[in-house]
Amino acid sequence: MELNSKNIVILSADDYEDIELLYLYYRMQEAGANVSIVGPELSADTLRGKHGYTIAVDIKSNEVKTEALDALIIPGGWAPDRLSWCNATLNLVKKAFEEGKYIATISKGFMGANTNRNITRENCNL
């Protein structure tokens, strides 16, 4: 699948599941997408996964313009729980959902996406 010039953000925080984030990140880039790592508003500039891998934060959740993105991905680990503590991140997910953007989650990522309780069986494939 080619994703030429699609803008995809991966929302994460410390204690992400390393393979779930890193595989997506590099695979989306290989497919031609512009991929950005988005951290919570108060996150450090580098996130550390559960198994010690690190990745740089490109932009904070309070700075993302949903109009410019095509998809939002939330990998699992403990990161989704940490994402749910940040109002700017919750608002980003809610706005992307309301604008009909593609939202994908892996494992516990669903917790971070559904904190606003707007994702139901009727509008989501489980």
Could you tell me the pTM of the whole model? 0.87
pLDDT in tens, 73-111: 989 888 888 888 888 988 998 898 889 898 888 876 656
Q: What domains appear along the chain, each with residue ranges and CATH number? A: 7-123 (3.40.50.880)
Rounded Cα–Cα distance for residues 79 and 10 (Å): 11
- How is residue 37 written in tokens? 């790592």
pLDDT in tens, 29-48: 999 999 999 999 888 999 99
Rounded Cα–Cα distance for residues 18 and 40 (Å): 17
Distances from the Cα of 8 to the Cα of 27, 51, 85, 117, 122, angstroms: 12, 24, 22, 23, 24
Which secondary-structure segment (H or E) carries 81? helix 79-83
- How is residue 65 written in tokens? 């313009």
